[in-house]
Every structure is written in C-alpha cells, then in structure tokens.
Amino acid sequence: MKKEKLFWLLTAALAAVAAFLPYAGNGFFAILSVPFTALGWVLRKLSLAGTVGNVVSIILYGLICGTPVWFWYRSKRRYEDLLLLLLPLILVVVLYYMVNPNLRHSMMQNHVGDAIYAASVWSTLMTWGVLKLLYSDEWGLDRNIYKGLRVFLLLCAASCVIDCFGSDIAQYLNLLKSQIQVMGVVNYDGMDIAFLALGFLVKAVEKGLAALVLYRGATLVAELERDPFGAACVETANGVSRMCRDSLTIICLSALFLNLAQILMTPLLRNISVSINIPVTGLAVCFAMLAVTKLLVKGKELKDDNDLFV
C-alpha cells in the first residue's frame, strides 16, 4: 500500500510540474526533457560567468558526457553495452544544443526541440536497458520480461496521468485565457467554457481510467512473477478484468455523451473547434488487459484440469 501511495504521489507531483512547463506536445515528454534543459541552463550560466566559470563548465560537460564510458568500463562489455559508448556522442550533441539553443535548426528551437533532443538520450538508455534485461545471463528470461513489463506499465500509467492532468490542463487553461483575451471580457461566453470543460472531463475520465487499469496490470504482473497459477494471481486477474469491463463501459458512454453534446452545442459555440472523440488509448489499454486476464484465468482452469490427470 505504501509503494502504491508513493507511486501516485510522485506521479501527481510530476503532473503538477508538467502543468507549468512549456507545452512540448506531451506532458510526459516535457518532464523527460527537464534534466537536459536544466543541465543546459546550468552549463550556459557557468560558461557566461567568466574564465573560471567557463573552465568549470567545460570540465562538467566532459564529465557528464564521459560518464557512460565509465559505466561501460565497469560493465561486462557485452554487445548491448556498446550502446554505452554511443551515448557520450549523443550527449555531446544534445548538451551542446541545450547550452546553445540559438545554434539549433529553426524547427528545433522551441520546447518540442528540447523534447526531441532529450528523447534521443532516453531512447538510447531505454534500448540498452531492454537489451540488458533480455540477454542478461544472471536472471532467467521470464523474470526479466516480468520486471521490464512491470516498469513499462507503471511508466505508461504515469504518462497518462502526467499528460492529462499536467500538460493538458495547462493547455486547456491557456486556450481559455486566449479566448477571453481575444473576445474581451464583455464577450465572455459560458457555452465555450462549458464545452471546453466537458471535453477535458471526458479525456480525463479516459486517461484516468487507463492509468488505473495500467497500474493494476503492473500489480498483476508482480503476482504472475510470484506464482502464475496461484490463487492470488487469479484473484488479481479477476479484479483487473472487472475493472476493465467497468472502465470500457464508462469510457465509451462518456465519449458518446461528448460526441452527442457536440451536435447540440456546435450552433451555440463561438470560437471552439469541434472534433470527433474516439477514446483509442482507453479502449486499447482496457481491451488488451481484459484479453490477458481472461487468458490467465483460462490458464488456471486448464492447469486445475491438468492436475486431475494422474
């Protein structure tokens, strides 16, 4: 229970941070670019602070970029560890452009560019991590996959929350502010605001439920690792299955409500553009999890049946 509370508290904190970050297409990606933009800011400040600051900045720059080489040296130096030698090259370029944002290509000079640069580093680290898990000879393959899957599901759950309750809220509020500013306080239209709020609420329901299902999925994977045919695993699977069924119902009904409301409200709206709302993320997550839980329960039934064969 403690770990669960810690996970949601941390996710909520990151969502709050994402709400204040400049929009980079996705709240989760904005969070991921923070370490690099922060490092870039620090190195830039140091290099502009005089000769001593410049020297410190260069030393720090070298140390940060060279750290993966030290990890490679300490590693078993398998094929996947070669990615640790690629990482310094990537870091050199990424940090250079974080320190000197004006030297970037015009298309990369905004916050989306920050996220793209950061993504190249995280992508390399993620690939190294996944390959390490899959090909490590210290653990059995099943255990690696369960571990990796659990981390992935938790990251996806966090991503849903950070994206929806972090950057999306900020985007909606900015949109609202711009509507009021354009129209002037006198032309403030309650219907536009109501429609925006409704749209956000439906999205929040979809992403919130998807996050809960993903989190419970991670719990299920932990039970699978312990005992795939145990009573606890089957109980968790049944719980996840019920949650998926309820979530699918709520997500579909709320999307239907929004789409019907759009038909009624469109003639009354002044400045808000309408769109078709199909909750693909929520549906995909819930259906996938539902299929897995059904398979698990079926597997347990087959095992019980098999146990009656002497």
DSSP letter at 90? Answer: H
Q: Which amino acid is at 266?
A: T
CB nearer to another protein: pick between 142 and 227: 227
Minimum distance from CB of 301 to another protein (Å)?
12
CB nearer to another protein: pick between 185 and 308: 308
CB nearer to another protein: pick between 186 and 310: 310
Helical pair 190-226 and 169-183, crossing angle rounded to 10 deg? 170
Minimum distance from CB of 164 to another protein (Å)?
49
CB nearer to another protein: pick between 79 and 309: 309
CB nearer to another protein: pick between 181 and 306: 306
Q: For the range 189-198, what are the long-range contacts, defined as Cβ-Cβ under 8 Å and sequence gap of 24 or more?
A: 189/269, 189/270, 189/271, 191/265, 191/268, 191/269, 191/270, 192/269, 192/270, 192/271, 192/272, 194/265, 195/261, 195/262, 195/265, 195/269, 195/272, 196/172, 196/272, 197/172, 198/258, 198/261
Minimum distance from CB of 308 to another protein (Å)?
4
If binding is defined by CB under 8 A, does position 310 make contact with another protein?
A: yes
* Residue ranges in 249-308 that form contacts with another protein under rule CB under 8 A: 305, 307-308
What are the residues whose beta carbons fall under 8 Å from the beta carbon of 86, sequence distance 6 or more?
124
CB nearer to another protein: pick between 137 and 305: 305
CB nearer to another protein: pick between 1 and 310: 310
Of 71, 37, 4, nearest to 219 by C-alpha is 4
If binding is defined by CB under 8 A, does position 309 make contact with another protein?
A: yes
Minimum distance from CB of 229 to another protein (Å)?
16
Helical pair 27-47 and 51-74, crossing angle rounded to 10 deg? 130
Size of site (CB under 8 A) for another protein: 5
Minimum distance from CB of 310 to another protein (Å)?
5
| x-or-dash string of contact with another protein, 25-64, rule CB under 8 A | ----------------------------------------
Rounded Cα–Cα distance for residues 79 and 226 (Å) = 30
If binding is defined by CB under 8 A, does position 79 make contact with another protein?
A: no
For the chain, the residue count is 310
Minimum distance from CB of 304 to another protein (Å)?
10
Binding-site ranges for another protein (CB under 8 A): 305, 307-310
